[in-house]
């Protein structure tokens, strides 16, 4: 008959090891907390504010379909492309800003608008 293996006895953890483990755990938790809070902060410097110079609408009736994985979430009818030409004095430049219809209708030439810098220029 085979003999049973003897159980492995682990020595108890001392007070010193327990304190070191708790301190290291708190340090790791503090780094994680710092990282989450730092990532949640809004990005500064990517918002521009300027004055609307011109409004343009290009009729391109289309139907946009939104997907979630392999499932269709919904469809949306779009009349066309709504663009505001905005002059930003600090950049000494005119931007073409695509907007949704409600914002396009609410803004007039001469109004101020804040928008995100184009992705190709973000830092």
123: pLDDT strictly greater than 70? no
pLDDT in tens, 53-70: 999 988 888 887 888 878
pLDDT in tens, 7-35: 877 777 788 888 999 999 999 999 999 99
Integer Cα distance of 57 and 46 in angstroms: 26
The closest of 76, 95, 75, 73 to 86, measured between CA atoms, is 95
Q: In the prediction, which pLDDT does 1 show? A: 64
Q: Would you state the CATH architecture of domain 47-121?
A: Beta Barrel (2.40)
Q: In the prediction, which pLDDT does 90 show? A: 86
Domains of the chain, residue spans: 11-41, 47-121
Q: In the prediction, which pLDDT does 61 show? A: 81
């Amino acid at each position: 008959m085979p003999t049973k293996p003897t159980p492995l006895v682990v020595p108890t953890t001392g007070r010193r090891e327990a304190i070191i483990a708790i301190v290291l755990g708190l340090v790791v938790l503090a780094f994680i907390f710092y990282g989450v809070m730092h990532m949640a902060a809004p990005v500064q410097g990517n918002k521009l504010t300027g004055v609307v110079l011109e409004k343009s609408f290009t009729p391109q009736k289309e139907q946009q379909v939104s997907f979630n994985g392999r499932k269709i979430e919904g469809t949306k009818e779009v009349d066309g492309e709504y663009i505001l030409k905005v002059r930003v004095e600090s950049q000494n430049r005119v931007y073409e800003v695509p907007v949704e219809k409600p914002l396009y209708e609410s803004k007039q030439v001469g109004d101020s608008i804040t928008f995100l810098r184009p992705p190709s220029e973000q830092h």
